Structure 1
Amino acid sequence: MKAVRRHVYGAPEVIELEEVPKPEIGDDGVLVRVRAAAVNPGDWHLLRGTPYVLRAVSGLSKPKVPGLGADFAGVVEAVGKGVSRFQPGDEVYGCAPGSFAEYVAVPEGGPIAAKPAGLTFEQAAAVPTSAMTALQALRDKAGLERGQKVLVNGAAGGIGTFAVQLAKAFGAEVTGVCGGANVELVRSIGADHVIDYTKEDFTRTGRRYDVILDNIANRTVGECRRLLTPAGAYLSNSGGGGRWVGVMGRVIRLNLTNLFVRHTLPTFVTRENAADLAALRELIEAGEVTPVVERVFPLAAVSEAIAHVERGHAKGKVVIVL
């Protein structure tokens, strides 16, 4: 099969398209012919090997695993003899390491579920990591309730477009922060209020929020805390920290601050699982959530797609088609 590989850390130019063996499956395995795969910020972090603290797991001097990509949508080609949930021909979506390839293998009990009806493969591939991140942040960590006020910083990005729609589906009043070119997009996916950060500083509006989901981290934790109601929650999945620790720097600060303040400042790592993929499928099929896909690239242009996402101004998701 054709698959994206990189054997050294570096810029998108180090990516190669190679012929490699198809993945093998065991008794509990599902072999999927990938039809589309989404690009996530994690892909360029792994590509460059930054922040450097990640190399303790991914490989100190060069990548231990040459593949890239995580999210996929496709068609089941084969299943192990112990698999009962899926059969060849099923349309599925989910997460698997190395999804920038013609085939991936996923355990039956892993993060794989039936593809939402009515979505193209490109749309379905855009969902898993970004939508699960938004879902777990709002539902599980913030405990979002109907009638609460939510601010999403970075509302036009991959996680942000899902967060706006999920918060609305949960009955919240939603404010989205984005650049001027994306105001209409954010309004069209359900935001009650939109702040153009090129014209207005969202930390100085005087408004208060029960939940802030910060996908950009371009303001300090203290500035954001001042926007919270007394029992409010601030969640960040981004942040500075340089090449050495990256977002972990903000995670450390949040955990320390959490010891001394009344607000909730939870940190979290997205947990990829089939149950949340099924929950998202229900919301999508009910018309509550629609993936926003900005651009589609062929597999041979993965380096260009990752570079586009790394520049930081993609609207919604960028998807690879195979």
Structure 2
Amino acid sequence: MMVNLSNIVTEKQNERTLNLDSMSYLEALKIMNEEDQKVPLIVKEVIPDIEKAVKLVVEAFNNDGRLIYAGAGTSGRLGVLDAAECPPTFGTSKHMVRGVIAGGKEAVTNAIEGAEDSELMGIKDLKDISLKSKDIVIGLAASGRTPYVKGCLKYANEIGAATVAISCNKNSEIGLLSDVPIEVSLGPEILTGSTRLKAGTAQKLILNMISTVSMIGIGKVYGNLMVDVQPTNEKLRERAIQIVQSSTGITRSMAQSILQSSNYDVKIAIICILLDIDQSTAINELNASKNHVRKAIENYKNKEEVK
């Protein structure tokens, strides 16, 4: 079946770069930078839609659901990348946020021709990870029409999972298949059809916002600190020490000692120090506050005031 790309903005020619091949390196770099500067301002326009997506993600997490990114090519790789960053940054399991990509794991590093053209493969990939109604699927497609992503969204809708669609064309096909469409119209790329450029940048910004603010919503952040960081290497162990120091004002040696005794649980260390309580009590307070450090501290202080 012939695909009509004439109405897809991301496939149109950019009038500013019709002579791109005859520009100097400096001219090409400057115009590329100018086009890139438009991206965050356009993303700003859809923040209300991004907020809707965040609320759905937090709801899924609070119900023990997962966040699943689904995409092909650059869009799929961006989903896989964001998912891969969540365990070390926020201490999530590798299953809580994950990405499925047309063509499977090999497509992360290699172009798999034709992989995106099958809705059935999208459905199969979600069935293979046992998608549940309590999960949420975020479909990514710069064009807004990728069959693989459409298949993923259709299946998610069929079983009652929440759906979000991120595209770089207005009134997109995937938008019509989602509970929350997030659509940014960025204009044509400097290199016609190369959606790894502005479109990819926009998608990365949006994914950053969704995953980060959703993690804030489930207590993975205290102040602006990553208090669920997993100290799996020397750099991250040092970061854990600095987080405890910054949150409590104690010395480095004290922070290190308390972290070692709490198995490098940053949250427990902070609560123990700020409330001057033992680890067992700190664990109980944190659990009662659904893993929110600030709430745990406030709730404990309120109880002490009542006594």
TM-score, normalisation: structure 2 = 0.29
Greater helix proportion:
2
Give TM-score, length-normalised by structure 1. 0.28
The answer to which structure has the higher strand fraction is 1
Larger Rg: 2
